[in-house]
Structure 1
């Protein structure tokens, strides 16, 4: 019997929503349909602004969550129409929400009371509204249970990467490059390691938007025409987070315009294109270093997320990993913009089946946990 789930993902790149209809049967999950919707300019700006403290945050966040749920609902409607099916034909929707803060294990420690630091993670969403608008059960809030169990709450996709990209007896590295980049190492011995390894597209997109008014550097063409500044690159690579051992996760809480501005102060004579070239090299170098350190025996690096469409970034990754075949996830049967959305369809199915969705080896949680909260239609 085939089961259908919908996965929805709006990542830290803030470019919009990707939605997939995934069919589960005896074989590996299959993406039957993909639809996407860009964010309206004002919604993107508000979601970006809510990543940093500001006035009237609770009210603004609630309204942004409502608006996000409506974009999600439109993508669901497009998927149902495209597949020629009804809401009742879908078991559930997995909706990750929009991460605006991610501060795991930073707050709440009390040695006298024996309390470990838990911190928090916050994904804007209104899953109740989404269930109401679509008529489909919604699974959301995937990160918080792992966090409560002492984990980072992220990344959650390595378990799905193992499902779709794992090869028996072979170590495989999978790199998702969204706003933040995360690496999954699928060991030949069936072990899995995963962590956030650098800024991905976030800083490149910010710099491109600021200086060209384009939301991203298409194909990396602007960066490819510039020259990497070696001293600036070394300053960027000096970020202490990069040297931390996993488990670890990060976000725009760290890699944001303020972080970049502080490091650019001694380099204000550089042309914007030089800085774009250096930011691209920074993202590639941070990712390549993680692969070299934690996936030494992998002969291939499967890249997904929007970064896989950046030709120059992919070339710089290949240059940094000359012994590894760097390829788009499309070469392994799953286009790069579908992977994360498909992961949340897969996680939603795990939740409904009361199966663990996290990997303690990845997040550092005390054990495997059933993730997510269910909002019945």
Structure 2
């Protein structure tokens, strides 16, 4: 297949597990350009199981783990096939699928650091008839890195503004920032929770998967005592490089603070939203004080109350979304995994050591060939 005309397909389900994002991508002068995209829903029973495992509420034996790995892989294949079914000519031009998978654990520190994404890539390759590149994070962790974030290289490629410091803010289950320095320096890290805790609390108390437009949070009042207790978590004070996930910021962590039991569910939700806004704003002020603007992407940009609070917390900066620059905020992450798949096939590094803390650049991912 001629590389100049090849397409790549990126797949990811983030820490919120709110759907599988699929992005069909072409490359112009090595820069990714979104061609088409969709979000494929999880079956509700499977999503509930994923969240329970990711939040350490359910332990898996090996048989259950194996079944979950395949079930997730089948859903990822469904997402890819749904996108490819839109245009047979484009489907035939797909060189590879880059599948991030679903993160169940991310513990990049300690004696035996690891990160675990599941969604059997062999199932995706078999079902779609396209080579799959997967397991992107472990090579960076093996090299002493955090394995995350992996998006800053793409953020820099698409959104850097010479002579101006800019922050790209990804609001998934966890929030992460990419700092694009005026001098060309690029670094980033996970700031803490974005949507994950709010989604879990909303599901428990409202029976819906997320807080649409932030209405539940807007109906409550911020409790300053609880907010202070949450912000006292040692993670927020750690210097970068650092990364985190639901295995740390989950409902059991929230409810370990006794103040929660004394508050209404709406007040807790309001406080969780403020935790997300405050921790992001504090991180940007501390590590990118000269940033002119903050460009949001990810599902959290649709939470208008959260975006408003971010703006209020950062009045000296323009807070907007990547859509301002023609980049769909919902599919930037999936686009990045299409880019990572291409990097792997070209034998080029996918990580930025200044971001992850790895000992050097690494080619990321393993290739799972389609049947010939």
Q: Is the 8 A contact 2:7 2:90 kept in 1?
A: no
| Residue 92 of structure 2 is aligned to residue 99 of structure 1 | no
TM-score by length of 1: 0.94
Superposition deviation, residue 14 in structure 1: 0.9
Q: Is the 8 A contact 1:3 1:25 kept in 2?
A: no
Superposition deviation, residue 76 in structure 1: 1.4
> Match for 2:61 among 42, 57, 63?
57
Mapping of 1:226-245 within 5 angstroms?
Answer: 226-245=220-239
Structure 1: how far apart are the matches of 2:90 and 2:222?
52
| Residue 148 of structure 2 is aligned to residue 154 of structure 1 | yes
Structure 2: how far apart are the matches of 1:313 and 1:86?
37
Q: Which residue in the other structure is 2:309 paired with?
A: 316
> Match for 1:216 among 205, 210, 213?
210
Superposition deviation, residue 187 in structure 1: 1.0
Return closer, same or farther for 1:266/1:75 CA change in 2, 3 Å cut-off: closer
1:268 aligned counterpart, secondary structure: helix
Q: Is the 8 A contact 2:254 2:260 kept in 1?
A: no
Report the more deviating stretch, 331-340 or 197-206.
331-340
Q: Which residue in the other structure is 1:344 paired with?
A: 337
Q: Which residue in the other structure is 1:115 paired with?
A: none
Q: Which residue in the other structure is 1:273 paired with?
A: 266
Mapping of 1:85-234 within 5 angstroms?
Answer: 85=89, 87-108=91-112, 119-234=113-228
Report the more deviating stretch, 51-60 or 335-344.
51-60
- CA displacement 1:78-118 (0-9 Å, x = unmatched): 2222233264410110000110011112124xxxxxxxxxx
Q: Is the 8 A contact 1:166 1:172 kept in 2?
A: yes
CA-atom RMSD, angstroms?
1.3
Return closer, same or farther for 1:354/1:27 CA change in 2, 3 Å cut-off: closer
For structure 1, the residue ranges without an aligned partner over 5 or more in a row are: 109-118
2:256 aligned counterpart, secondary structure: helix
Q: Is the 8 A contact 2:76 2:119 kept in 1?
A: no
1:8 aligned counterpart, secondary structure: strand
Return closer, same or farther for 1:267/1:257 CA change in 2, 3 Å cut-off: closer
Q: Which residue in the other structure is 1:25 paired with?
A: 28
| Residue 357 of structure 2 is aligned to residue 364 of structure 1 | yes
| Residue 17 of structure 2 is aligned to residue 9 of structure 1 | no
Superposition deviation, residue 169 in structure 1: 1.9
Return closer, same or farther for 1:29/1:103 CA change in 2, 3 Å cut-off: same
2:104 aligned counterpart, secondary structure: strand
Q: Which residue in the other structure is 1:43 paired with?
A: 46
- CA displacement 1:112-152 (0-9 Å, x = unmatched): xxxxxxx1110012011110000111000000000110111
In the alignment of these two chains, the number of paired residues is 366
Q: Which residue in the other structure is 2:247 paired with?
A: 253
TM-score by length of 2: 0.96
Structure 1: how far apart are the matches of 2:61 and 2:148?
24
Q: Is the 8 A contact 1:33 1:82 kept in 2?
A: no
Q: Is the 8 A contact 2:73 2:118 kept in 1?
A: no
Q: Is the 8 A contact 1:356 1:370 kept in 2?
A: yes
For structure 2, the residue ranges without an aligned partner over 5 or more in a row are: none
Q: Is the 8 A contact 1:155 1:195 kept in 2?
A: yes
Q: Is the 8 A contact 1:50 1:61 kept in 2?
A: no
| Residue 84 of structure 2 is aligned to residue 80 of structure 1 | yes
Q: Is the 8 A contact 1:358 1:369 kept in 2?
A: yes
- CA displacement 1:320-362 (0-9 Å, x = unmatched): 0000100012112112210110010011111111110000000
Q: Which residue in the other structure is 1:116 paired with?
A: none
Superposition deviation, residue 55 in structure 1: 4.5
Structure 2: how far apart are the matches of 1:86 and 1:340?
21
Structure 1: how far apart are the matches of 2:272 and 2:58?
27
Q: Which residue in the other structure is 2:296 paired with?
A: 303
Return closer, same or farther for 1:240/1:87 CA change in 2, 3 Å cut-off: same
Q: Is the 8 A contact 1:19 1:34 kept in 2?
A: yes
1:34 aligned counterpart, secondary structure: strand
1:66 aligned counterpart, secondary structure: helix
